Amino acid sequence: MRENIIARRYAQAFWEVARDKGKEEDFFQSLNALAEALGRKELFPFWKSPLFEEGEKLAVLDKALSALSLPKEVENFARLLIKRKRFSLIQEITQEFAHIYQEDQGLVQATVYTAYPLLARQARELEKTLSGLKGKKISLESRVDEGLLGGVLIHMGNLILDGSVRGRLRRFARSLG
């Protein structure tokens, strides 16, 4: 939880730089490219480990940056994350930046979990309903979670709507005991 707060703060600060320069889209794409290249799970121990010195991490970063050719501001942001020992949060920071970017564009990301795959018609109807609820355009991602047993679980930003059978059973069990 604490890491999410930290990631949100870094993303918000970087968003303000992007907005001030009028390069929101460019920074969004560049940050995604950086996270995709260097934020993979197998590299996480390297970025997190105190056994590797800052200089070694910066050398790896610089080598990757030369291949990616990103804007100077994104490169400097990446170096700052290493110096502050926060580069291991690059995926979370990128996700938070994406949320801020989408909010600015009037788009809300929602993830719906169902026990079975949603039909295209159901997804469109759900998108329309959620759009009416939030008053914004919804970008819906559908995932299957067989553990739900039935119903839906929706994550929209900080809002969680639990209409799943599993959720109802949990609430019922809590009310009994």
Q: What is the pLDDT of residues 12-42, one digit of tens each?
A: 999 999 999 999 999 999 999 999 999 888 8
Residues 14 and 95 in one domain: yes
Identify the pLDDT of residue 40. 86
User: Does 7 lie in the same domain as 87?
Assistant: yes
Q: Which domain holds residue 136?
A: 106-176
55-75 confidence digits (pLDDT tens): 999 999 999 999 998 999 999
- Total domains present in the chain: 2
Instruction: Please report how many Cα atoms fall inside a 13 Å half-sphere around the Cα of residue 173, on the Cβ side.
Output: 6
Same domain, 123 and 172: yes
Tokens of 114: 């169902």
Q: Is the pLDDT of residue 81 over 60?
A: yes
If asked whether residues 22 and 88 sit together in one domain, one would say yes
Q: Predicted confidence band at 1 (pLDDT cuts at 50, 70, 90)?
A: low
- Kindly report the CATH number assigned to the domain that includes residue 31: 1.10.520.20
Residues 26 and 89 occupy one common structural domain = yes
Over residues 79-106, mean pLDDT: 92
Which DSSP helix (H) or strand (E) runs through 113?
strand 107-114
pLDDT of residue 105: 85
d(CA 34, CA 63): 12
- Amino acid 143: pLDDT: 92
pLDDT value of position 159: 84
Residues 10 and 58 in one domain: yes
Mean pLDDT in residue range 83-87:
95
Same domain, 141 and 57: no
Residue length, the chain? 177
Q: Are residues 79 and 115 in the same domain?
A: no
132-172 tens-digit pLDDT: 888 888 888 899 998 888 899 999 877 889 988 888 889 99
Do 91 and 144 lie in one domain? The reply is no
Single out the residue in 72, 102, 132 at which a domain terminates. Answer: 102
Domain termination residue (choose one: 102, 133, 157)? 102
